[in-house]
Amino acid sequence: MHNDQPSPDSTAADNLVARSLASVWHPCTQMQHHAQHGPDAMPLIPVSHGRGAWLYDTGGKRYLDGISSWWVNLFGHANPRINAALKDQLDRLEHAMLSGFTHEPVVTLSEQLAVLTGYALGHCFYASDGASAVEIALKMSFHAWRNAGQGDKQEFVCLRGSYHGETLGALAVTDVALFRDAYGPLLRAAHVTTSPDARGALDGESAADVARRAAADLEALLQQRSGRIAAVIVEPLVQCATGMAMHDPLYLKLVRELCDRHQVHMIADEIAVGCGRSGRFFACEHANVWPDFLCLSKGISGGYLPLSLVMTTDEVYQAFYHVDAARGFLHSHSYTGNPLACRAALATLAIFAEDRVLQRNTERAAAISAALAPLAGHPQVRHFRRQGMIWAFDAVVNDADAARTFSRRFFSAALQNELLLRPIGRTVYLMPPYVLDDGDIAHMAAATLRSFEQTMAEA
């Protein structure tokens, strides 16, 4: 317990929840579920503060943040080093427009990211959230082809189960029915091709075989729509939002080859899997390829501030470089390259380097996997899988009603066990910040197992 922790006050907590429900429209939520009781109920937690991997509510309860607050937090809440950098930046420059002006944090961040790609992707374009980065990559791809005299390349390809954000352009390359279907009539159709999800392996097939099969389908599509396709967009190694579908790195290598052969851009959406989540800093490094566009967000600011960016090649950059303004990329957002957000990102990159985070995560991941062994071998668990600092498994729930309510029931059970986990359908996943110590790991694993057994026992 910390001495600045407010004293437990359940009346104040209830009050905050009631005020929130009256005035805040919460994201990705059927608001009525917050008002219900029973298996459809979804508690709303009033958070008072965070420390390290833990969130504390206004009633004095604590929760280990097993999903890094929607995959954004890398080095814990209230991280002293990121806090110090932001306090320093706050007294220098909070914001200045990035059109016609520049500043130290955005320049240094762009340089450092370029170095991390060995200058393969040496040009950074900034926005604030992930969906905007996807919009930028799609627009840039189309416009680069247009500037190169190939304006017929207007179509995009995404994968079955893909997720690239909620704005209309990003949603058009998203294949998650729950998010997409209501807006179907508003969306420009994209080609949806076979996912290399390794769970789709037929008898005797390896993950690499599944990747080859998926790539063959992509090849057929690229041949069929020859000259029409601008870009293929992929979530490298893990399609997170559809339920942590993982694939063999071979797929990325094959996509890169196909894109080269058919003159199509490759867009790597590393918004969720970038920043060390896959085990390397960029997930594409597992396949030794660079895309034409790489989207980053979520973890890049350490989970502090909205920041996203698209990194691209000299070739794309040169396609826009001209005396004619209309050939430029005339896209902007008010907070593009915000200095505070960039400074948080620089502090995040500094922690990666100073603490040798990728190496230490290898050891941390081994400890977490060992602690989760009882779940990996559980008779009601299928497809226990891991990529870097992401663990996932699918619950075997046969009753339709129990399956429908599994996620919300598990979420509630986990909260009772001092753990924040929000399954996607029947897929339970863990995506913790890179700061768990042995005690946190033991707690996370035990609470996950207990929550799982409680949720399954209710069915």
Ligand X SMILES: *Cc1c(COP(=O)(O)O)cnc(C)c1O
Q: Is 244 in the site for ligand X (CB under 6 A)?
A: no
Which of 126, 163, 251, 304 binds ligand X (CB under 6 A)? It is 163
Listed in order, strand segments (DSSP E) in 43-177 are: 47-51, 54-57, 62-65, 123-127, 155-159
Burial of 303 (0-12, 13-18, 19+ CB in 10 A): buried
Nearer CB in complex with ligand X: 170/420: 170
User: What share of residues in the chain are helix, strand, coil (percent, to 5)?
Assistant: 45, 15, 40
Give CA 234 to chain center in angstroms: 12
Residue 167 Cβ vs ligand X, minimum distance, rounded to whole Å? 7
For CA atoms 67, 69, 74, 78, give the dihedral sign.
Answer: negative
Which of 235, 285, 292, 394 binds ligand X (CB under 6 A)? It is 235
Binding segment (CB under 6 A) for ligand X, from list 88-96, 111-119, 126-134, 349-357: 126-134
3-state secondary structure 391-416: EEEEECCCCHHHHHHHHHHHHHHHHH
Which of 57, 65, 269, 285 binds ligand X (CB under 6 A)? It is 269
Which of 164, 256, 277, 408 binds ligand X (CB under 6 A)? It is 164
Residue 337 Cβ vs ligand X, minimum distance, rounded to whole Å? 16
Here the tokens at position 284 are: 């594409």
Nearer CB in complex with ligand X: 165/196: 165
Which of 58, 193, 278, 297 binds ligand X (CB under 6 A)? It is 297
Supply the DSSP symbol for 374: H
Residue 214 Cβ vs ligand X, minimum distance, rounded to whole Å? 18
Return the SS3 of 184: helix
Binding segment (CB under 6 A) for ligand X, from list 159-167, 211-219, 257-265, 309-317: 159-167
Which of 66, 76, 105, 165 binds ligand X (CB under 6 A)? It is 165
Nearer CB in complex with ligand X: 230/300: 300
Residues 133-152, interacting with ligand X (CB under 6 A): 134
Q: Is 131 in the site for ligand X (CB under 6 A)?
A: yes
CB atoms inside a 10 Å sphere around CB 107: 13
Binding segment (CB under 6 A) for ligand X, from list 138-146, 203-211, 268-276, 313-321: 268-276
Which residue lies nearest ligand X, judged by its C-beta? 130
Residue 60 Cβ vs ligand X, minimum distance, rounded to whole Å? 31
Q: Is 237 in the site for ligand X (CB under 6 A)?
A: no
Alpha helices, H only, 204-296: 207-224, 250-262
Q: How far apart are CA 362 and CA 347, in angstroms?
A: 21
Residue 303 Cβ vs ligand X, minimum distance, rounded to whole Å? 11
Nearer CB in complex with ligand X: 142/163: 163
Q: What residues have CB less than 8 Å from 135, skipping those under 6 apart?
A: 127, 165, 167, 169, 170
Which of 127, 272, 284, 347 binds ligand X (CB under 6 A)? It is 272
Q: Which one, of 423, 429, 443, 362, lies nearest residue 391 by Cα?
A: 429
Q: Is 65 in the site for ligand X (CB under 6 A)?
A: no
Q: Is 241 in the site for ligand X (CB under 6 A)?
A: yes
Instruction: Please give the size of the binding site for ligand X, defined by CB under 6 A.
Output: 15
Q: How far apart are CA 2 and CA 59, in angstroms?
A: 14
Nearer CB in complex with ligand X: 163/410: 163
Here the tokens at position 327 are: 């050939």
Nearer CB in complex with ligand X: 57/269: 269
Burial of 1 (0-12, 13-18, 19+ CB in 10 A): exposed
Residue 230 CB-half CA count within 13 A: 25
Q: How far apart are CA 321 and CA 314, in angstroms?
A: 10
Which of 129, 175, 248, 292 binds ligand X (CB under 6 A)? It is 129
Q: Given the rule CB under 6 A, which residues bind ligand X?
A: 129-131, 134, 163-165, 235, 240-241, 269, 271-272, 297-298
